[in-house]
Amino acid sequence: MEDGRAVIATINDVIHVPVDLSARKAWHLEQIRHDKPKMVEYNRSVPLIPMPIAKHLHVLRIESLFIRDGGDLFDDKSLKEDLRVTIRIAVDFYHFLQRLPKVISPTQHEVMYINDTIRSGYESFYHVQMLSRILEGMPKKSFRWKRYVSLTALKDEYHRLFKKLQQNNLSLQDRICCLLELVKIEMSFLAITFY
C-alpha cells in the first residue's frame, strides 16, 4: 500500500487501484492534472473513472491487437489515447450488457450511466473513425443502421461483434471496422433509451 492505493503492475502500465472514496477522488484528480490532460480538453460529460483491473486488462489486450497490427500508426499519443478510450467504452458497454438478465430491463440509473459513458467518447470515436478514412484497404461500409427489436437482439449482435474484435486473425482494417460497428450499436442503444 502506498498513499492509500494498491499498486499493480501490468505489461506496460502501472494501475493504481483506489481503496476508498477519498483515495479514488485523489487518484482521479491526479490523473486529470498530470496524466490525462485530454480529459479536461474534451470537457467530457462524465469523466472516465478508474476501472476494475479485469476490465482494464481486457482493454489492454484488445488495444495490443490494434498496436500489433498497426505498426507505427499508433505512435501518435493522442491517436493511441483515442483508440484506448473507444475500446474502453466498448468494454464497459459489453460488461454492462453481460450483467443484464434476458428478461428484466436495466434500471434508469444504469441506463443513464452507460449513456453518459457512450456520450463521453464521441470525440475519441470521431478520431478513430477519421483514421478509417485514411487507411488503405478499408472495406466499404454502408450508412444503413440495423434496427433492433429488443434489448436481447442488440445484446446478441454486440456480443458477436465483440468476440470478433478480439480474434487474432483479423486485419487492422477489419478490426477497426468491427470497433466502429460496435460504436454504432452503442449509439443505437443511446437513441433507443434516450429520454
Model confidence, pTM: 0.70
pLDDT in tens, 75-130: 888 899 999 999 999 999 999 998 877 656 778 888 888 999 999 999 999 998 88
- Residue 157: the pLDDT is 92
Residue 82 exposed, middle or buried by CB count within 10 Å (0-12, 13-18, 19+): buried
Selection from 87, 101, 83, 81 nearest residue 151 by Cα = 101
- Residue 50: the pLDDT is 57
91's grid cell:
468494454
Average pLDDT, the chain: 75
Amino acid at 96: F
Selection from 95, 59, 94, 96 nearest residue 80 by Cα = 59
Least confident span in 3-12, 61-70, 96-105? 3-12
DSSP designation for 75: G
- Residue 45: the pLDDT is 45
Q: Tell me the C-alpha distance between 172 and 183, whole Å.
A: 17
